[in-house]
Every structure is written in C-alpha cells, then in structure tokens.
Amino acid sequence: MVAALALLASCGGKPDSASQAAATTPRNVTLTQAQLQHIRLYTVAASSYRKTVEASGVVDFDNDQATSVLAPFSGPVSRLLVEPGQKVARGQALALVDSPDFSTAVSTYGKALATARTARRVADADKDLVQHNGVSQREEQQAQTDAANAEADRDAAAQALASLGLDPKAIGAIQPGRPAARAQGAIRAPIAGTVVEKLISPGQLLQAGTTPAFTVANLSQVWVMAQVATSDLPSISVGDPAEVETGVGPNTLTGVVTNVAGLVNPDTRAVLTRVSVANPGEVLKKQMYVRVRISARQASTGLLVPVSAILRDDENLAFVYVAQADGSFARRHVTLGDRSGDQYVIPAGLQAGDRVVVDGGLFVQFMQSQ
C-alpha cells in the first residue's frame, strides 16, 4: 500500500518543462476564407537597405547667413526704421543715431577733400611751371608727393565714412565750405534677410562696436541641431540626406548633414549633428523642437519586414505572425535591428521565404486570444 501511494505521489508531481512550454505557447490561428480576405502577407527576402537614424533636434539660425548688427558709432538713437519680422535688403538703414563720431568723420572728410583739391591744383601748376623753369624740379616733385599724400588722406576719410554706414552717393554730396547736414549716422543691414531681433530703443545711448542693435538672419535656410546617439555614429556621415518633421501639419522638410561634432555631450552622451534644411514659408523657427531622420548613404543587406508587421506581447517583446504550411498562422518572436524608412531589419527570428502578416495582424492576435 505504501509503495502504491508513493508511486501515485510521484506521478502527481509538478509538470515537466515540455508541458509548461505547451501551456504557455499561444496556439496557431486558423482563419476562414472570408477572414483571409482581410489579411495581407509579405514574403521575407534579403534586401539592400539604408539605415535610418532617428533623433530629436532643435532649430537654429544658419550662422553662415545670420549676424548680430553692432552700432558702428556712439550716440543716442534718434529713430528706429524697422520692426522685428521685417525683411530688409543689404545696406538698408535700420536706425538713425545722433553721433558725434559721425559728425567728426564728416568734418574730417570735408577737410581732407579740400586739402586734396588744393594740393592737386598746386601740383598741376608746378608741373607746368617746371617746363618753363618757373620752379625747380625738386619743388615740382615735392608738390606731386604732397598731392598724392593728400588724396590718400581723402580716400581714407571717405572709407571711414563708408564704414560708418554712409552710402557713396551721400559721401559724394559732401563739399568743403558747405554747411553740414544734421550729423545722423545710419545703422545698416550688413546682409539681406529678416530682422529677427531689435535690441535698442529711441533715446538709448549706444557705444561704438560694443552695443548690439539688431539681429538679421536669412530664414530661407536654417540649421537643425540633432542629438545623435553614439551607437548610431558609424551609420551617418556628412552629406547624408535627412528629413525633418515639425509635428505641425503633414509636411516633411528635407535637408542634408553638414557637420558631425567631434565631441560628446557629457550630459546627454549624444553627439551634436548639424543638418542644413531649406525652410520654405519659414515654417521652422529658432528653438523649435523637431524630429530628424537621417538616411545613411552606405547600403547594407539584411532581412526586412514592414513596420506594420511588428506586434508586441504582454512583455513588450516584438513578434510577427508567420503563415504555416497547413494554412494557420504562428506567433514568432523576432529581434529588431536597424530601421530603414517604414521597414525593420530582422537579425534573428525569420528566414528568407517566410511569409508574415503585414496587414490584419491585430485581428489575428485577437482571434488567437479567444
């Protein structure tokens, strides 16, 4: 009797591992012909692909086409001529300044102009006189030297006015002996673009070369600074095409990688990657957060399946449904590799020739749970 009980106890112990696996493995799903009409299959095959790296990014000005405009002279602001958001041409006046520096430069040019004219008249007269022995050759040569020096001083004074923002027409209107107009200097746009910042106000006292007055930027092209993980660095390089999504509207903007930083951010452990993006309609604004997809130009080969084929189980593990020889569908876990557009590379879990469900997978999963 004792031996019989012991035998029964041994037979009624814990189930073996094979029984446990059979109990936890989902059964295959068989669908009717009507249900199969809503299922689309994809045959897995080795394909060439280009890895897509996704990253977050922040919009910035194209610093090659944006500049901070400093006051070229000192003095109080008398009038503002533009507002933020206004488009300006190169050389356009942005503000007027009552500047003693400007007044001094105008006066210096007027004096240099008068001196140069007088010196040239003397030099021309001595050139004629030396031919009639009216002056010595040494005196004539000295007169020519004095005239050349005076003209050099005149040109330098004119260049000083130009550097202060005075246009050539206004410089040409300055004549010695004439009363000077009100000494107002103009702060001018050094490039064509949009006024994105106005940093001064009427009456504000400016310091030459130190007071920032405006920021002008060409917004038709911007930079997107993407944070790329170090593990993705081998897959990208300068010249790779990129797409930028703003999350506002359906439009996707295209760009190209123009720089990959040589340093890793110690806080994020990511590498700053610059993408130059055309900005039609000026949709992208500075400091806007965007999503960036960079497509590697170097091609690789692997087994790819559409993203729509990938499902997740209760443990968040990726799986697909594979068509079986008997017409049923079996769940198979897969390892996800690189993403290329709307496809995933599958390093493990599938073989070439497998047919996976790409449309209707959620329905198959529902039927399997019944």
Topology at the third CATH level for domain 28-50+301-369 = 2.40.420
Exposed (0-12), middle (13-18) or buried (19+): which is 178, by Cβ within 10 Å?
exposed
Other Cβ atoms within 10 Å of 36 Cβ, number: 14
Give dist(CA 215, CA 219) in Å, integer.
12
**Domains of the chain, residue spans:** 28-50+301-369, 53-64+218-242+251-291, 100-182
* Residue in the block written with tokens 């050349």: 148
The type of residue at 186 is A
Instruction: State the Cα–Cα distance between residues 272 and 250, nearest whole angstrom.
Output: 26
Query: How many CB atoms lie under 10 A from the CB of residue 173?
Result: 11
Q: What is the chain's pLDDT, residue by residue, as a tens digit (370 residues)?
A: 334 434 334 444 444 433 343 445 678 888 888 888 888 898 888 888 778 888 999 999 999 999 999 988 888 999 999 999 999 999 899 999 887 777 777 778 888 888 888 888 888 887 778 777 777 888 888 888 988 898 898 888 888 777 766 667 767 777 665 655 555 778 999 999 999 999 999 999 999 889 999 999 999 999 999 999 998 888 889 999 999 998 776 678 999 999 999 999 898 889 999 999 999 888 899 999 999 999 887 777 888 888 888 888 888 898 988 988 888 888 889 888 877 778 888 889 888 888 888 888 888 888 888 7
The pTM score is: 0.61
100-182 CATH choice from 1.10.287, 1.20.1300, 1.25.40, 3.20.20? 1.10.287
Helix 100-130 vs helix 137-163: angle between axes, to the nearest 10 degrees? Answer: 160
Secondary structure letter of residue 321 according to DSSP = E
Burial environment of residue 320 by CB neighbours within 10 A (0 to 12, 13 to 18, 19 or more): buried
Residues forming a β-bridge with 315: none
What percent of the residues of the chain are helix, what percent strand, and what percent coil, each to the nearest 5? 30, 35, 35
Domain 53-64+218-242+251-291 maps to which CATH number in 3.40.630.10, 1.10.1060.10, 2.60.40.10, 2.40.30.170? Answer: 2.40.30.170
